[in-house]
Amino acid sequence: MLCPFCGTYAGQDEIVCPSCGKLLPRGENLDTGVMAIRQGKRAREEAASGQTPIWMARQGTGRTWVDPESRPTSGGRIPVFADPDIFDADGAPAAASQDPMDRRQSRVYGDTTVREEPVMGTGGRRRSEGKPLHKRWINWMRVLVILLILAILGAVGTWAYLKRTPNGQRIMARMGREATSAALWEVGEEQMNTGDLTRAIANFEKAAEQDGEDSINVAGYLLLASAYEAEGRVTDAEEIYVRLYTDVVPSAIEPYANEIRIMMATGREPEAAELMTEAYRKTGSNTFMRQRTELLPQQPTTDQTAGSHTQKKTMHLTSPQGYDIYYILAPAQAVTDRENLPKLPDEGTKYEDGIFLDEGYWMLRAVCVNGNLVSDELSATYRVELPSPDAPYVMLAPNTYKTRQRVRLRPGEANLNDTDITIYYTIDGSIPNADSPIYDGKAILLPGGKSTIRAVAVNGYGKFSNTVERSYKIEARPWPKDPYVSQDVADVKLNSTTYENFVKVWGEEERREDVTIQDISAPCRRYFYPWGYVTYQRVGGTQYLIEISTTSQEFKAPRNTQVGMSEEAVLEKFCDMGQVESPSGNRGLYSNDDGTGRIIKDADGSRRIEYIAYTVGGYMWQLDYLLDENRQVKEIYQKYLP
């Protein structure tokens, strides 16, 4: 039924209107209730009585009822509302509608019936507005404009999303479009993880190019190198690793570790070991040193500790793993450029059995070698300082004595019980050395006049003591003669006799030749005669005699000596302090401020007497007497020494 107060439909069992909440009437004739309304009977009765139907006066729209007579189009007739599918305008049953779902109502104004679209009331049923219906047209232009605006806004929003957001940039990168380097790195990593190495490398390379040289993405470059390795481009990967640990991040561990791994896999263990050392130095990671220790042979060991030793040593080297050993032993003081030391093992000596350490300061360097792997270098220095003996003791006090004296020598206090002490001495004024007379325990006879005895002790290591010297004056004959001096001249005078003067006495030479004389810078020429030869040096335009050799008795040498004289006869002409021969056969005659004199035994067994005179101008004159096997003078030789 319809609520008589608000016109809302209510079910037969409803007591209260579901819309207005008023109590619904009960017990009425159905012909005057809902059924009457539906059949049009109540409407006609109310219209005949001149009453306004209450359900029309209280429409759910809230509008005030307007009398139909006031409507100019009504013609004074009361509109009748009826369902055109059931009743016509006179209340008679209408013909069947073409659309059984069409429940639109009609309003009749006079002779005019107006159909209206149904309007939903508050009770949920369709009802008609109390005004004429006008047909409404769709504005398609407005629709198109709105759609265009929405499309533009959508496009702008999409562009902004793709260009301005990280997710959008990743989408662009996946599409192969321009994107930021960060998006390219991320998308490249995604592609690498899915096995698409070609596209991953392309994105990585593009990202690296966009970053430029001033903003290197280390993590990204490591990904690119890994992709290169996965694709078999090991050389390209190595270039990245080397660049990273050389120029970009020298303290980063991963570039070193990856390059070392590649070196080990490609048979470059020595290079890998060197890089491990560098990696440890730059990163401080002990992993690299442990890795290097496991790779290389162990260092060689030695049975002699480095440092100072007081005796000569023979040391032995050992490889803990039985590998070959190469070493270099050199004087440590000679090692001045430690940056350019000889290379081991290439420039070393293969160790066989023992290395002798003589006295001195030595540097030992050694390595163990296993194939192409070389251990760390063993480096040690050894200072062998052998003990020196005390200076010998001279058992005659320095003094002036009226008679000739004999002198005895003995080792110093610290070496009295040593059996390897040798004492060398001189009484000719020279400094004792290994070619001086050896003291044999017998007393030494001192010559007359002023003399000095000098002595040194030498132990079994060959170490010399300091020199001890004692001076004496013996006022007893025989007095020693004078040494050879530059004033001792005979037929010629060195560096003074000219070529013209010599020719006047000795005539023209048989032949001549230009020669070079050691220590003489001026041009020299030698002239040959039947008795020997003479040599001149040219100074300015004059030739001065600087060398003469004669085997003829016609020439007189200084102090009226000549060829054919005996050794003893020549020695009697010059100073001789009476010193005995040394073990080599040499004997010192004298050594003082004027010059030296000595007997020399040459390697071929021949003997000669040699005198050297020191001149005022700082030059030297040499006078030699060459002796034959009978110790007779066979040649006299004089030379000027600048």
> What pLDDT digit, counting tens, does each position of 287-306 carry?
999 999 999 999 999 999 99
What is the predicted pLDDT for the residue at 15?
79
Fold of 393-466: Immunoglobulin-like (2.60.40)
| Half-sphere exposure for 343 (CA within 13 Å, toward CB) | 2
What is the predicted pLDDT for the residue at 57?
46
Range scoring the smallest mean pLDDT among 33-47, 578-592, 614-628: 33-47
**What mean pLDDT is predicted for residues 499-519?**
94
88 pLDDT band, cuts 50/70/90, is low
**What mean pLDDT is predicted for residues 294-323?**
94
3-state secondary structure 593-630: CCEEEEEEECCCCCEEEEEEEECCCCCEEEEEEEECCC
Calpha distance 283→302 (Å, rounded): 32
CB-CB contact of 366 with 320 (8 Å) = no
Quote the percentage of the chain above a pLDDT of 90: 63
What is the predicted pLDDT for the residue at 471?
96
47: pLDDT strictly greater than 60 = no
Q: Which residues pair with 536 in a beta bridge?
A: 525, 545
Calpha distance 456→442 (Å, rounded): 16
Q: Which helix (H) or strand (E) holds 501?
A: helix 499-506
What is the predicted pLDDT for the residue at 121?
47
3-class secondary structure, 379: strand
Calpha distance 605→630 (Å, rounded): 12
What is the predicted pLDDT for the residue at 345?
93
3-class secondary structure, 325: strand
627: pLDDT strictly greater than 60 = yes
127: pLDDT strictly greater than 60 = no
What is the predicted pLDDT for the residue at 62?
45
> What pLDDT digit, counting tens, does each position of 372-411 carry?
999 999 999 999 998 999 999 999 999 999 999 999 999 9
Side chain identity at residue 237, one-letter code = A
Calpha distance 470→116 (Å, rounded): 160
What is the predicted pLDDT for the residue at 82?
45
Domain boundaries, the chain: 30-127, 163-295, 311-384, 393-466, 499-641
The DSSP string of 476-500 is -SSPP-PPP-TT--SS--TTT-BHH
**What mean pLDDT is predicted for residues 74-90?**
47
**532 closest CA partner among 516, 505, 515, 510:** 510
Q: Which residues pair with 600 in a beta bridge?
A: 608
What is the predicted pLDDT for the residue at 166?
87
pTM exceeding 0.75:
no
End-to-end, the C-alpha distance of the chain in Å comes to 160
What is the predicted pLDDT for the residue at 50?
54
Side chain identity at residue 341, one-letter code = L
Calpha distance 190→353 (Å, rounded): 64
Cis amide prior to 392 (ω within 30 degrees): no
36: pLDDT strictly greater than 70 = no
Calpha distance 396→451 (Å, rounded): 13
- Residue pointed to by tokens 């480096």: 379
101: pLDDT strictly greater than 80 = no
Calpha distance 427→453 (Å, rounded): 5
Q: Which helix (H) or strand (E) holds 504?
A: helix 499-506
Q: Give CATH for domain 163-295.
A: 1.25.40.10
> What pLDDT digit, counting tens, does each position of 66-81 carry?
455 554 544 444 444 4
61: pLDDT strictly greater than 50 = no
DSSP annotation of 56: H
Q: Which helix (H) or strand (E) holds 573?
A: none
> What pLDDT digit, counting tens, does each position of 326-361 carry?
999 999 888 777 778 899 999 999 999 999 999 899
What is the predicted pLDDT for the residue at 93?
54
37 pLDDT band, cuts 50/70/90, is very low
What is the predicted pLDDT for the residue at 557?
93
- Residue pointed to by tokens 């003669």: 481
Which pairing describes strands 409-410 and 393-394: parallel, antiparallel, or unpaired? Answer: antiparallel
> What pLDDT digit, counting tens, does each position of 428-445 carry?
999 999 999 999 999 999
Interacting residues of 268 by C-beta distance below 8 A, sequence separation 6+: none
Range scoring the smallest mean pLDDT among 123-137, 182-196, 514-528: 123-137
Calpha distance 416→588 (Å, rounded): 29
The DSSP string of 147-208 is HHHHHHHHHHHHHHHHHHSHHHHHHHHHTT----HHHHHHHHHHHHHTT-HHHHHHHHHHHH
Calpha distance 26→36 (Å, rounded): 15
187: pLDDT strictly greater than 80 = yes
Q: Which CATH architecture has domain 311-384?
A: Sandwich (2.60)
Side chain identity at residue 629, one-letter code = E
Going through 103-161 in order, the beta strands assigned E by DSSP cover: 106-109, 112-115, 119-120, 126-127
What is the predicted pLDDT for the residue at 311?
87
Residue 154, burial from CB neighbour count under 10 angstroms (0-12, 13-18, 19+): exposed
99: pLDDT strictly greater than 90 = no
Q: Which residues pair with 339 in a beta bridge?
A: none
DSSP annotation of 631: S
Domains 163-295 and 393-466 share a fold: no
86: pLDDT strictly greater than 80 = no
The mean pLDDT of the chain is 85
131 pLDDT band, cuts 50/70/90, is low
> What pLDDT digit, counting tens, does each position of 209-252 carry?
998 888 889 999 999 999 999 999 999 999 999 999 999 999 99
- Residue pointed to by tokens 């579901």: 18
What is the predicted pLDDT for the residue at 16?
78
Quote the percentage of the chain above a pLDDT of 70: 83
What is the predicted pLDDT for the residue at 334?
80
94: pLDDT strictly greater than 70 = no
CB-CB contact of 485 with 613 (8 Å) = yes
Residue 516 CA, distance from chain mean position:
57
60 pLDDT band, cuts 50/70/90, is very low
**What mean pLDDT is predicted for residues 365-377?**
94
3-class secondary structure, 349: strand
What is the predicted pLDDT for the residue at 6?
80
55 pLDDT band, cuts 50/70/90, is very low
